[in-house]
């Protein structure tokens, strides 16, 4: 209850709270603010590269190259800090959406900053290694942006208001019903059903998870085996019906897991490569100063 | 028959025990009647090790028995000792069935047939009542229990729940939780579950279909044996394994018993309490009522009353109640100095709504109220401030700012702020003190209690609020006198969610003002209802019919349960005729609405599918209860990548517990309403909070202040399932030591496994946990700040429809 007496006392200390109200995605954030900033930065670099006359030619060691290199290295460190920002719940106002937006567009601008920093001199050395790692990080990030922009809808459509736990529970419920329904079956018919009951919905390697194809699915196998035995037997019909329902539930869960895996897999490339990049970058910077 | 005693105390809970201890100390002849074989049965039945809290903290304990926060065993142990030390004369197994006689010579009959004679009776039986018992062989076995405190106490057991009311179903669902691996059976004597809430029945049916419990209808227990239960089923007897029987067969409410003694209650509704004098004496002289039955559910209140009531009986009329100090503090800031009793009398004489309030009620209301002195010109509250308290003018007068530089006075004795109280909306106007004076601010809970228990106060508040609401809506120099006719004929009607109030095409000229809740306006276009508008509390509709005489041009139905004030067209027309300016203003408003209708209709032709979707989305939002929300979290599933950073941020911004469940909840057109607090206009959770710790904060948030006793009422009352009962996990290592060294569980709510490992055998008290909209955090709600893609948004009803508009992309 808003009692005015408290409010009066608190007036001096009452901090105006910030309220994020705009409904816009991270790519559109603030009218593409960071896209504009990043684009302008790239344009500035490309134009000034052409206009500034560095002797004997553009390379990483010129004053111009050092400038770009410094900007690039600091930017890389700042971009890495997103991982910290995301998890650090301080009470001041910040928007992770704004950070993501800046991360994406400034990250993309590194293509220009980094490449133009090299003066297009690439070779088989630690310097180029750092550049290659940087490009790989950016590429994996680009994949991330694409899946973030396209997959959420599919994730939402597939789950149809169910949570992952509910999907699992649905499968377990079919398992329990199958267990009861399969009791009157002959041992030969029960075997594939038992195999289907033993199946772990989470089993499978990364490839099956990412492709969503499960060729050795025990439920599908049981369904095939029992479908061939159909023919008026009410008990088998009941089990087949349950198996079909379980398969549908499994398909939904697998699709859910597949989309989630696709949304996450790139981070397992993006983040480790970032650390490799920082290591290569350190080697690159140290070696440059060592051989000055 | 034994010697007559000075006082017989019925019920050995905190109130009765404290009374008996006082009697023992004073050397009064007394007897404490307890129907079981131990003291304080309600607390005795708490689960083992349960922590009992000692709220309210500011209240001093005045009793010969000790009481401080602690485990159930510690408290009961203390009380057993205190009972012995104070020479309390306890009669166990004394279940009182009848009280006859009058002051000085009461006869109390127990179930065993004993008769006890007493000069005075203190009734401290609480509100639990007697649970109905099983009526079959073996019904006295110890594995039959009548309540489930914590479902987690049962693991890998065969449990049979008898009774199909809400309590039985909720208990069955609790113990049927999959992780507990119990085998649960619920029995119902009849075919259907007519007595339970639809939600509970559907949850139970779902659990049955999923194999979590077996539901047996037309079945009842026949014989109870250790480990086994014989059932009587339509197809003959059947014996099932059974380790625990939970019997939830309802209980005999104590009210019937109390009324049989001739004690009158304040009203017929369930919330009514016995009528009491300042010394707790009921309408039957010589019978005193204290504790939960008297309307004081907290242990400390009960114990203090036990002490006081025996002092009163002993003739100590000069005793001031233990809350005297707190009441003195309420009046301490005022410029004049008076004793508390004089202040209470002063307020009762000068404020209209307090006129019918008894001195005992007055003390209680004032504890929940504030009294302050205002100098002329001081702002009491400003337009747009959130707030639901009621103000009364004890001295001086207030001035309402109805327009720039225009003020309307409110005289001494009257009230203001009642619109916020009734509608839950923000303050409609700025109010200043018109002269140096004293205003009383009554909290929402206290004001609602006042209205429920004092009919006179309710009438005054309703009449004034109706007049004010109308004045505020139909501006233009209208006075209270102009409204007389309209108000006299006005009628308050309640409509359930979804009910149609006006039907398009019908004739009619009644005008409706929305007092609480909200309405949606729809128009039939091409055979489909098209959503036109959302009408919040404080708006009116139906006026077009009066002005134009045409049939209704749109359908209006309730978005949520609502209260409407129905004004007759005749009275409304007279009022308009009396004030031409009001008529002009109303006509202008009508023209604006008509324009909007035409606009929608014209767009409909060109963007029919878009308008359909807009309309469907809007009705989805309403159906999800957001019509009564003031601020809700929505997730745009076109953007949500499922990272759950919102949940982690929520947990890390609070005590390690997340107050939202992102994945759960309904979705429509990719707009997802997660399980998280909507900060309702009329929070259901506030309805029944014994320590009264749920409040609305300055930013409109509904939050809980410390002091929760863990009763779970709010969780059960919340229709959206957003309140959890959970104990805060122990602190975890910092973010850097997790990132760099892998210490601790990482960001977000730690897994129950980790928490359990940290705590060992300790079982901390579970209290209610709900969203507080990140109260006190300058950055605002953490869920929204921590969303990397912008999928999480917080919106208020006015903004819902802009969210539902689909003509702008968001990606």
A197-229 residue pLDDT tens: 988 887 778 888 888 888 888 999 999 988 888
Q: Do A97 and B790 touch (CB under 8 A)?
A: yes
Q: Do B641 and A263 touch (CB under 8 A)?
A: yes
- The region, left, alpha or beta by phi > 0 then psi within -120 to 50, assigned to residue B751 is beta
Quick one: average pLDDT of A106-135?
94
Question: Distance (Å) from the C-alpha of residue A224 to the closest C-alpha of chain B?
Answer: 25
Of A91, A152, A177, the CB nearest to B778: A91
Distance separating alpha carbons of residues B528 and B27, to the nearest angstrom: 80
- Whether residue B650 is predicted with pLDDT greater than 90 in this model: the reply is yes
Quick one: average pLDDT of B420-439?
80
pLDDT tens across B481-530, in order? Answer: 777 778 888 888 888 877 889 888 888 888 898 877 778 888 776 666 77
Of B441, B794, B810, the CB nearest to A25: B810
- The DSSP bridge pattern shows strands B220-225 and B228-233 to be antiparallel
Q: Quote the mean pLDDT of chain B.
A: 82
Q: Do B667 and A156 touch (CB under 8 A)?
A: yes
- Helix, strand, or coil (residue B758): helix
Angstrom distances, CA of residue A55 to CA of A59, A63, B274: 9, 10, 99
pLDDT tier for residue A15 given thresholds of 50, 70 and 90: very low
**Which DSSP symbol is given to B96?**
E
Whether a cis peptide bond, with omega within 30° of 0, leads into B56 is: yes
DSSP code string of B276-342: --TT-B-SSTTEEE-GGGGT--SHHHHHHHHHHHHHHHTT-TTPPPTTHHHHHHHHTTSSS---HHH
B260 touches A: beta carbon within 8 Å: no
Interface of B with A in 58-87 (CB under 8 A): none
Q: Do B696 and A1 touch (CB under 8 A)?
A: yes
| Phi, psi angle pair for B672, to nearest 5° | -110, 130
CB-CB neighbors (< 8 A) of B386 in chain A = 2
| Pair B247, B271: CB distance under 8 Å | no
Q: Do A100 and B441 touch (CB under 8 A)?
A: no
Q: State percent of chain B over pLDDT 70.
A: 90
Of B178, B389, B653, the CB nearest to A1: B389
Q: Could you give the angle at the alpha carbon of A271 between the alpha carbons of A147 and B785, nearest 5°?
A: 65
pLDDT tens across B163-195, in order? Answer: 877 778 888 888 888 778 888 999 988 777 766
B595, exposed or middle or buried, with CB in 10 Å at 0-12, 13-18, 19+? exposed
Of B211, B443, B791, the CB nearest to A1: B443
Q: What would the two tokens of residue A180 be?
A: 């009861």
pLDDT, position A5: 37
pLDDT tens across B735-758, in order? Answer: 889 988 888 898 999 988 898 888
Neighbours of A233 (CB within 10 A): 15
- Whether residue B808 is predicted with pLDDT greater than 60 in this model: the reply is no
- The DSSP bridge pattern shows strands B105-110 and B115-123 to be antiparallel
Interface of B with A in 196-215 (CB under 8 A): 209-211
Of A7, A25, A161, the CB nearest to B698: A7
Whether a cis peptide bond, with omega within 30° of 0, leads into B517 is: no
Which letter, b or e, does each residue of B166-187 get, where b requires 16 or more Cβ atoms within 10 Å of its Cβ? Answer: bbbbbbbbbbbeeebebbbbbb
Q: Quote the mean pLDDT of chain A.
A: 87
B511 touches A: beta carbon within 8 Å: no
Interface of B with A in 601-640 (CB under 8 A): 636-640
Nearest to B370 by CA among B396, B333, B422: B333
Nearest to A146 by CA among A261, A256, A263, A47: A263
| Pair B788, A97: CB distance under 8 Å | yes
CB-CB neighbors (< 8 A) of B385 in chain A = 2, 4, 7
B788 touches A: beta carbon within 8 Å: yes
Q: Do A89 and B443 touch (CB under 8 A)?
A: no
Nearest to B451 by CA among B353, B360, B562: B353
- Whether residue B807 is predicted with pLDDT greater than 50 in this model: the reply is no
| Pair B499, B561: CB distance under 8 Å | no
Nearest to B2 by CA among B83, B148, B117: B117
Distance separating alpha carbons of residues B120 and B20, to the nearest angstrom: 13
B699 touches A: beta carbon within 8 Å: yes
Q: Is the dihedral of CA B135, B138, B140, B141 positive or negative?
A: negative
| Pair A264, A203: CB distance under 8 Å | no
A179, exposed or middle or buried, with CB in 10 Å at 0-12, 13-18, 19+? middle
Chain A CA closest to residue B445: A1
Question: Distance (Å) from the C-alpha of residue B754 to the closest C-alpha of chain A?
Answer: 19
**What ipTM did this prediction achieve?**
0.88
Quick one: average pLDDT of B337-357?
85
Distance separating alpha carbons of residues A3 and B369, to the nearest angstrom: 10
Angstrom distances, CA of residue B784 to CA of A31, A94, A264, B406, B779: 19, 10, 21, 41, 10
- Contacts for A272 with CB less than 8 Å, ≥ 6 apart: none
| Pair B485, B567: CB distance under 8 Å | no
CB-CB neighbors (< 8 A) of A19 in chain B = 780, 794
- Whether residue B207 is predicted with pLDDT greater than 80 in this model: the reply is yes
B798 touches A: beta carbon within 8 Å: no
Q: Do A153 and B670 touch (CB under 8 A)?
A: yes
pLDDT tens across B564-621, in order? Answer: 888 888 888 888 887 777 787 778 777 777 776 676 666 655 555 656 666 677 677 7
pLDDT, position B489: 81
For an interface test with B, the pick among A8, A11, A89, A178 (most B C-beta atoms closer than 10 Å) comes out as A89
Q: Do B638 and A152 touch (CB under 8 A)?
A: yes
Q: State percent of chain A over pLDDT 70.
A: 92
pLDDT, position A117: 94
Distance separating alpha carbons of residues B654 and B782, to the nearest angstrom: 10
Distance separating alpha carbons of residues B304 and B290, to the nearest angstrom: 10
Total residues found in chain A within this entry: 292
Distance separating alpha carbons of residues B185 and B333, to the nearest angstrom: 60
- Whether residue B233 is predicted with pLDDT greater than 50 in this model: the reply is yes
| Pair B576, B582: CB distance under 8 Å | yes
Chain B CA closest to residue A28: B811
pTM, full prediction: 0.64
Q: Do B786 and A96 touch (CB under 8 A)?
A: yes
Helix (H) or strand (E) holding A278, with range, is helix A267-290
Q: A285 versus B542: which is more confidently predicted?
A: A285
Q: Do B789 and A19 touch (CB under 8 A)?
A: no
Distance separating alpha carbons of residues B794 and B634, to the nearest angstrom: 6
CB-CB neighbors (< 8 A) of A156 in chain B = 637-638, 640, 667, 670, 672
B441 touches A: beta carbon within 8 Å: yes
B670 touches A: beta carbon within 8 Å: yes
pLDDT tens across A32-81, in order? Answer: 999 999 999 999 999 999 999 888 888 888 899 999 999 999 999 999 99
Residues forming a β-bridge with B557: B500, B520
Question: Distance (Å) from the C-alpha of residue B627 to the closest C-alpha of chain A?
Answer: 18
- Whether residue A16 is predicted with pLDDT greater than 50 in this model: the reply is no
DSSP code string of B158-197: EEEEE--SHHHHHHHHHHT-GGG--EEEEEESSSS-TTS-
Of B210, B386, B746, the CB nearest to A2: B386
């Amino acid at each position: 209850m808003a009692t005015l007496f408290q409010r009066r006392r608190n007036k001096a200390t009452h901090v105006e709270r910030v309220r994020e109200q705009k409904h816009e995605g991270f790519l559109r954030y603030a009218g593409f603010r960071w896209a504009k900033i990043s684009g302008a930065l790239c344009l500035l670099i490309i134009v000034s590269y052409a206009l500034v006359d560095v002797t004997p030619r553009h390379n990483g060691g010129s004053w111009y190259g050092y400038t770009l290199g410094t900007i690039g290295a600091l930017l890389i460190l700042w971009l890495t800090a997103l991982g910290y920002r995301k998890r650090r719940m301080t009470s001041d106002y910040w928007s992770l959406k704004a950070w993501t937006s800046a991360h994406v567009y400034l990250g993309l601008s590194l293509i220009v900053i980094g490449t133009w920093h090299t003066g297009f001199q690439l070779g088989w050395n630690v310097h180029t290694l750092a550049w290659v790692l940087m490009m790989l990080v950016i590429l994996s990030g680009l994949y991330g942006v694409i899946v973030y922009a396209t997959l959420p809808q599919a994730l939402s459509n597939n789950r149809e208001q169910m949570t992952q736990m509910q999907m699992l529970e649905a499968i377990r419920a079919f398992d329990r019903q199958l267990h009861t329904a399969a009791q009157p079956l002959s041992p030969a018919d029960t075997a594939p059903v038992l195999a289907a009951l033993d199946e772990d919905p989470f089993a499978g390697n990364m490839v099956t998870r990412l492709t969503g194809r499960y060729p050795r699915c025990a439920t599908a196998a049981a369904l095939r085996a029992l479908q061939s035995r159909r023919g008026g037997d009410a008990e088998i019909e009941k089990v087949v019906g349950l198996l079909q329902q379980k398969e549908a539930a499994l398909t939904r869960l697998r699709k859910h897991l597949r989309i989630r895996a696709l949304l996450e897999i790139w981070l397992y490339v993006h983040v480790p490569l970032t650390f490799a990049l920082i290591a290569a970058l350190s080697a690159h910077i140290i070696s440059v100063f060592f051989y000055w | 028959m034994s010697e007559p005693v000075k006082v017989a105390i019925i019920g050995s809970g905190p109130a009765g025990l404290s009374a008996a201890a006082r009697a023992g100390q004073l050397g009064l002849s007394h007897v404490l009647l307890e129907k079981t074989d131990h003291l304080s049965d309600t607390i005795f039945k708490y689960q083992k090790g349960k922590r009992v809290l000692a709220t309210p903290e500011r209240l001093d304990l005045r009793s010969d028995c000790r009481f401080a926060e602690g485990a159930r065993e510690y408290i009961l142990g203390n009380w057993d000792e205190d009972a012995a030390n104070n020479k309390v004369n306890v009669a166990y197994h004394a279940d009182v069935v009848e009280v006859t006689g009058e002051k000085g010579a009461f006869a109390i009959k127990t179930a065993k047939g004993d008769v006890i004679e007493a000069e005075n009776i203190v009734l401290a039986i609480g509100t639990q009542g007697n649970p109905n018992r099983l009526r079959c062989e073996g019904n006295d076995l110890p594995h039959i229990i009548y309540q489930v405190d914590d479902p987690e106490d049962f693991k890998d057991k065969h449990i049979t729940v008898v009774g199909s009311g809400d309590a039985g179903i909720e208990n069955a669902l609790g113990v049927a939780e999959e992780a507990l691996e119990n085998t649960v059976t619920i029995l119902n004597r009849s075919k259907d579950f007519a007595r339970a809430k639809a939600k509970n029945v559907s949850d139970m049916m779902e659990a049955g279909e999923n194999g979590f419990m077996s539901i047996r209808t037309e079945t009842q227990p026949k014989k109870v044996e250790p480990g086994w239960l014989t059932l009587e089923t339509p197809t003959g007897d059947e014996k099932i394994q059974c380790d625990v029987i939970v019997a939830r067969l309802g209980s005999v409410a104590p009210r019937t018993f109390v009324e049989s003694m001739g004690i009158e209650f304040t009203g017929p509704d369930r919330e009514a309490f016995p009528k009491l004098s300042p010394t707790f004496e009921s309408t039957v002289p010589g019978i005193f009522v204290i504790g939960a039955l008297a309307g004081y559910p907290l242990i400390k209140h009960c114990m203090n009353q036990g002490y006081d009531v025996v002092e009163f009986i002993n003739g100590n009329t000069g005793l001031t109640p233990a809350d005297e100090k707190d009441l003195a503090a309420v009046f301490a800031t005022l410029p004049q100095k008076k004793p508390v009793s004089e202040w209470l009398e002063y307020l009762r004489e000068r404020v209209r709504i307090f006129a019918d309030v008894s001195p005992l009620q007055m003390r209680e209301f004032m504890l929940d109220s504030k009294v302050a002195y205002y100098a002329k010109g001081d702002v009491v509250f400003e337009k747009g401030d959130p707030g639901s308290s009621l103000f009364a003018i004890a001295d001086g007068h207030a001035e309402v700012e109805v327009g720039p530089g225009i003020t309307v006075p409110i005289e001494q004795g009257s009230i203001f702020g009642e619109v916020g109280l009734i509608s839950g909306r923000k303050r409609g106007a700025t109010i200043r003190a018109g002269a140096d004076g004293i205003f009383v601010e009554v909290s929402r809970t206290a004001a609602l209690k006042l209205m429920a228990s004092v009919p006179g106060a309710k009438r005054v508040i309703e009449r004034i609020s109706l007049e004010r609401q109308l004045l505020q809506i139909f501006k233009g120099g209208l006075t209270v006198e102009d409204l007389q006719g309209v108000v006299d004929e006005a009628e308050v009607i309640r409509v359930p969610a979804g009910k149609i109030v006006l039907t398009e095409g019908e004739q009619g000229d009644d005008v409706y003002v929305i007092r609480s809740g909200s309405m949606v306006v729809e128009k039939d276009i091409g055979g489909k209802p098209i959503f036109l508008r959302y009408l919040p509390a404080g708006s009116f509709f139906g006026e077009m019919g009066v002005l134009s005489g045409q049939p209704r041009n749109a359908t209006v139905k309730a978005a949520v349960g609502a209260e409407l004030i129905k004004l007759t067209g005749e009275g409304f027309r007279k009022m308009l005729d009396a004030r031409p300016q009001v008529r002009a203003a109303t006509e202008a408003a009508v023209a604006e609405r008509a324009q909007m209708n035409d606009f929608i209709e014209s767009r409909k032709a060109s963007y029919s599918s878009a308008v359909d979707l807009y309309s469907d989305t809007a009705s989805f939002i309403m159906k999800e209860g957001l019509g009564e929300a003031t601020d809700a979290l929505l997730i745009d599933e076109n953007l949500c990548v499922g990272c759950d950073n919102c949940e982690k941020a929520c947990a890390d911004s609070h005590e390690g517990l997340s107050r939202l469940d992102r994945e759960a909840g309904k979705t429509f057109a990719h707009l997802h309403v997660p399980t998280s607090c909507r900060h309702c206009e009329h929070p259901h959770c506030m309805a029944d909070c014994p320590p009264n710790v749920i409040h609305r904060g300055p930013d409109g948030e509904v939050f809980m202040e410390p002091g929760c006793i863990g009763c779970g009422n709010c969780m059960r009352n919340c229709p959206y399932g957003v309140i959890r009962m959970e104990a805060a996990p122990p602190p975890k290592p910092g973010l850097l030591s997790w990132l760099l060294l892998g210490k601790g569980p990482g960001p977000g709510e730690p897994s129950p496994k980790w928490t359990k490992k940290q705590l060992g055998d300790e079982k901390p008290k579970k209290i209610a946990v709900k969203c507080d909209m990140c109260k006190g955090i300058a950055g605002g709600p953490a869920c929204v700040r921590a969303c990397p893609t912008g999928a999480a948004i917080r919106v208020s009803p006015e903004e819902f429809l802009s969210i539902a508009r689909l003509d702008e992309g968001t990606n």
